[in-house]
A and B are shown apart, each in its own frame.
Chain A
Amino acid sequence: MSLRTRTVAWSTGLTGVLATVLVVSAGIGPVSIPPATVAKVLLSADPLPLVFDTPRASRIIVLDVRLPRIALAAFVGLALATAGTVMQGFFRNPMADPSIVGVSSGAAVGAVATIVLPIALPFGLELQGAAFLAAVLTAFGVYLIATRGGHTPTATLLLAGVAVQTFLGAVISLLLLRSGRSLRRVVYWLMGHLGGTTWAEVWVIAVALPPLFAILLFYARDLNVLLLGEEEADSLGVDVERTKRILLGVSSVVTAAAVAVTGVIGFVGLIVPHGMRLVVGPDHRILLPTSALAGASFLVATDTLARSGPAEIPVGIVTAALGAPFFLYLLRSREVTGL
């Protein structure tokens, strides 16, 4: 089977899985709604031409209460899995995740500072805006630190990322000490959460993500060649430094956009790419789209678990609690020597 056929088949299948997960998830909650009704509600939603007769209460619960959160989970899962796939390939390192260059720490500093320090911006989303800016600035700073004479060795980048993360961790701790009554809010943000999602957040990420994802997909072939090592990639006609800049820049922005709205949700960007690589192989032309779709389904499913218990828990706890054992299982069952 050709790569193209496999890519289409896997993507179609995973899109089906995502649709199913969305419908099931939208039906789960304090008020249980049958999947058929959810499907009808979704299909009669505004831009779609179909009209089904559904109870008004169901429409409100699905479209106004649950769907924003589910949609955001899907987009964020997609973003994190995509960025994780790119980072693991970029660094040729199985432990790389979307935050490896300090994006999450940067976002956390921005967000926590906004919560703790007495600054208030006149418009909405100031917390997300600050987190996003801080995240992108951090990634850019790490890149500058690791770059000398136009070259950015990945090993230096990795270590610079670790050092900057440690430093920002100290800053976050200091801010926590000074947080006083907002401590609870800060901790909740840091754990990663999808509660209280508004359509505004969803729209921002829904508009920003597709073009960024397209750029990464565009570079899938270069990323494959880059996996062979930088010197060989150069010998095969890949402009290594330029490609690295683009991959690092785009995936940092993708991660920053996700982390800024949801806080630090761990493990999605680490294990989803790993799992998909085991299933479809290392070729990024198929790995990127399938990881993205699987990441979306994974985060929607775990967030459904997070909110369906007697008391809602931050989704970051669920992804880590499910992800870590699964990761260990992979580690033991497979020789994860390379990736």
Chain B
Amino acid sequence: MTPDASDANGPLVGIDDLWVSLGGTTVLRGVDAAVDRGRFVGLVGPNGAGKTTLLRTIAGAVGPDSGRVTVADERVHDLHSKAASRLVTTVPQDTTVAFEFDVRTIVGMGRHPHRSRIGGWTEADTDAVERALDRTDTARFADRAVTTLSGGERQRVLLARALAQETPVLLLDEPTGSLDINHQVRTLELVRELVAGGRAVIAAIHDLDLAARYCDELLLLSGGEAVAAGAPASVLTEPAVREAFDARATVARHPVTGSVSVTALPDDGHGRGSEVGDRREGDAGRVHIVGDDGAVGHLHALDAAGFEVSVGAVNEGSAVAEAARSLGVDTVTVPPFAGVDTDARAAVARRIDAAECVVVADMAVGSGNLPNLRAARDAGRIVLVETRPFAARNHAGAAAARSYRRLRDRATVVDDGDVVGAVAEAVGTDRASDPVAPGSTTWSTTDRGGSHTDP
């Protein structure tokens, strides 16, 4: 059956109130989902959330306690194994093959459900196998024994086998798990092609960034339940990630791909424990950051260290603006590609006045953001990050250079990695020694001011 040969009316894959237990433990608790042809759905969630079990159940390898899985309007668990294998197949996570079959034979096994016991090998079988070998970039070791391949190569061989099976639904369990970054992307690009060709793909993917980047939809599983489903940006929110993974993470837009990017932060680090409720922002003091996308790291680090951070002025939609938005940080923004106007400059100045310290990131300076630099010049304490000479990043002429020199004269100049320490020192030694102390007397919400453009 070719991917588009079925004439189902409903979604290609329907999962309806699925309960599954393994060895007496309930692994899936009433999961509902629907996947249409031409869609790539990523299963995300922490270890033990039930991702693999869900895939195995869809494949028919595990029977549900209740609920049902339909593929092309057929109940998978009622189908004969051969019929089910013409509808759905799996690329497993464990790719170990203990026997010395050559790659072409392994891929040829994908034709098994299409062959009758007495029927011979047909032209169509050969074509399907050669196509699968080509598409997965495995043709060049088609005649080698599969036992001589690396884990990543084996994974691609098993993907080739699944392609040769020509099923409308493809299940992938950690398809990029043992692949290098090049083949991770190539594999997922290939999956996108397959999806464009009408297949439906469901993949358990650990890497949230890759999942967000390549999947049409995500299904977030936690404790055997589907806790969120939909477009990646709507599923991967900070509260959802924190809830599901029990981890503190920031969600931002990736500067290059523009897709949602999740960064997990350590719990110990600078004082934010996993007890999110106890978190006290601004414990360590107020800091304003002036910078471009290169300041994202400082923004996260200072926020994580417990400082009450403001940032600006930055362009809406830039990486630093997204990071600030995801952290809920007080941000002064100007429209994309616009320069810093008088209002924005005034807003920046107010925040700099309120801050105990200003961090000026290593940034390119043009006429658009020169007002930021000028505003920073008047601050009380300045931490200046310098990794490149200013001349190399000055696009605003001699005036900017003069402003920078004056700024530099009054600033503590630090390297990229020393920002938090320098800020802590500038703000006060008592805080530097114990910037976290819950209930510390330096708790300073009283002087919290300014308008939050993105509360």
- Which residues of A come within 8 Å of B, CB atoms? 3, 92, 218, 221-222, 224-225, 227-229, 231-232, 234-240, 281-283, 337-339
Q: Counting chain B CB atoms within 10 Å of each CB, which of A221, A225, A228 scores highest?
A: A228
Given A225-B109, A225-B112, A283-B105, is A235 in contact with B59 using a C-beta cutoff of 8 Å?
yes
Q: Tell me which of A224, A231, A237, A338 contacts B113 (CB under 8 A).
A: A237
Q: In the complex, what distance in Å separates the CA atom of A339 from the CA atom of B97? A: 11
Which of B63-96 touch A at CB < 8 Å?
80-86, 89-90, 92
B254 CB-CB contact with A under 8 Å: no
What are 21 A-B interface contacts by the 8 Å CB criterion?
A3-B105, A224-B105, A227-B98, A229-B92, A231-B90, A231-B92, A234-B60, A234-B81, A234-B85, A236-B165, A237-B81, A237-B82, A237-B83, A237-B84, A237-B113, A238-B82, A239-B81, A240-B81, A282-B99, A283-B101, A338-B100
* Residues of chain B contacted by A224 (CB below 8 angstroms): 101, 105, 109
Q: In the complex, what distance in Å separates the CA atom of A92 from the CA atom of B97? A: 11
- The reply to whether B113 and A236 contact each other, CB–CB distance below 8 Å, is yes
Q: In the complex, what distance in Å separates the CA atom of A248 from the CA atom of B60? A: 24
Give the shortest distance, in Å, between B77 (CB) and chain A (any CB): 12
* Residues of chain B contacted by A222 (CB below 8 angstroms): 112
- The reply to whether A235 and B61 contact each other, CB–CB distance below 8 Å, is yes
B92 to chain A: closest residue by CB: A232
* Residues of chain A contacted by B83 (CB below 8 angstroms): 237
* Residues of chain A contacted by B56 (CB below 8 angstroms): 231
- The reply to whether A282 and B100 contact each other, CB–CB distance below 8 Å, is yes
B140 CB-CB contact with A under 8 Å: no
Q: In the complex, what distance in Å separates the CA atom of A239 from the CA atom of B113? A: 10
* Residues of chain A contacted by B98 (CB below 8 angstroms): 92, 227, 337-339
B259 CB-CB contact with A under 8 Å: no
Q: In the complex, what distance in Å separates the CA atom of A169 from the CA atom of B376? A: 91
Q: In the complex, what distance in Å separates the CA atom of A236 from the CA atom of B87? A: 10
A243 to chain B: closest residue by CB: B81
Give the shortest distance, in Å, between A215 (CB) and chain B (any CB): 11
Give the shortest distance, in Å, between B53 (CB) and chain A (any CB): 12
- Which residues of B come within 8 Å of A, CB atoms? 56, 59-61, 80-86, 89-90, 92, 97-102, 105-106, 109-110, 112-113, 115, 117, 147, 161, 165
- The reply to whether B100 and A235 contact each other, CB–CB distance below 8 Å, is no
Give the shortest distance, in Å, between A95 (CB) and chain B (any CB): 14
Q: Tell me which of B60, B80, B101 contacts A282 (CB under 8 A).
A: B101
Given A232-B92, A234-B61, is A338 in contact with B99 using a C-beta cutoff of 8 Å?
yes
- The reply to whether B89 and A236 contact each other, CB–CB distance below 8 Å, is yes
* Residues of chain A contacted by B117 (CB below 8 angstroms): 218, 221
- The reply to whether B86 and A237 contact each other, CB–CB distance below 8 Å, is yes
Give the shortest distance, in Å, between A211 (CB) and chain B (any CB): 16
* Residues of chain B contacted by A221 (CB below 8 angstroms): 112, 115, 117
Known: A235-B61, A237-B84, A338-B98. 19 other contacts (CB 8 A): A221-B115, A222-B112, A224-B109, A225-B109, A225-B112, A231-B56, A231-B61, A231-B90, A232-B92, A235-B85, A235-B90, A236-B110, A237-B82, A237-B85, A238-B81, A238-B112, A239-B82, A282-B100, A283-B105
Q: Tell me which of A229, A232, A281 contacts B101 (CB under 8 A).
A: A281
A230 to chain B: closest residue by CB: B61
A221 to chain B: closest residue by CB: B112
Give the shortest distance, in Å, between A241 (CB) and chain B (any CB): 9
Q: In the complex, what distance in Å separates the CA atom of A199 from the CA atom of B333? A: 100
A92 to chain B: closest residue by CB: B98
* Residues of chain B contacted by A231 (CB below 8 angstroms): 56, 61, 90, 92
A219 to chain B: closest residue by CB: B117
* Residues of chain B contacted by A3 (CB below 8 angstroms): 105
Give the shortest distance, in Å, between B224 (CB) and chain A (any CB): 20
* Residues of chain A contacted by B84 (CB below 8 angstroms): 237
- The reply to whether B81 and A228 contact each other, CB–CB distance below 8 Å, is no
- The reply to whether B99 and A339 contact each other, CB–CB distance below 8 Å, is yes
B102 to chain A: closest residue by CB: A281
